[in-house]
Amino acid sequence: MRIKELFAFGLVSVAVAAAGCHPGATVTQPTDAHVFDLALDLPAGCPPATPNENGVGILCTKGGNQCKAKGLTCTCDMAFNILLNGVPCICTIVGINTSSTATDPCSPQASGKAAGFCGSNATCCPYMTEGYFCSPDVCLPGGSCINFTPADAGTSD
């Protein structure tokens, strides 16, 4: 299972615009966000049939608030000004690296959480050194977290 396409994660900044207008539509101001279109070959069984004890894997809908009451985030909602397209809509735990010295955002020092905070059958996956999210193990393409290193490894020509 491999990522088919990943647009320069962490480097692309676009305005989120309405997908179209129709009678009765509500007009809202676009919000600046990092929007990442992912095309993933997800393993069979993703999303999981049942969430774990921490709620990782609960099915959710964009803007449905199914996760918020449990202190979780829906993967289809914007978090930290990032919006993912092409991922299953499930509840997850997300956060940022709060340490100035730890480079692994999943570490207790960086996350401020105890080891294993994602719960059973879930893995903490880093977003570079900046943040983390919990993924149900059954949803890990190839059994591993997605590597969000920019295609140019952060260098410019």
Could you tell me if residue 155 is inside a domain? no
The share of the chain scoring above pLDDT 70, in percent, equals 66
Contact in structure between 88 and 141 (CB atoms under 8 Å)? no
E strands, 41-146, are 73-74, 82-85, 91-92, 94-96, 122-127, 131-136
What is the band of 11 on the pLDDT scale with cuts at 50, 70, 90? very low
Q: Give the Cα separation of 100 and 80 in Å (integer).
A: 18
* pLDDT value at residue 156: 54
* pLDDT value at residue 127: 84
* pTM (2 d.p.): 0.68
Residue tagged 């919990």 (tokens): 134
Could you tell me if residue 25 is inside a domain? no
pLDDT digits (tens, 9 = 90+) for 138-153: 999 888 898 766 555 5
Number of domains the chain contains: 1
Could you tell me if residue 12 is inside a domain? no
Could you tell me if residue 54 is inside a domain? yes
Confidence check: pLDDT of 113 > 70: yes
E strands, 7-152, are 14-16, 31-40, 73-74, 82-85, 91-92, 94-96, 122-127, 131-136
Could you tell me if residue 9 is inside a domain? no
Q: In which domain, by residue range, is 96 found?
A: 42-77+88-143
Could you tell me if residue 118 is inside a domain? yes
Could you tell me if residue 157 is inside a domain? no
Q: Give the Cα separation of 43 and 131 in Å (integer).
A: 24
Could you tell me if residue 60 is inside a domain? yes
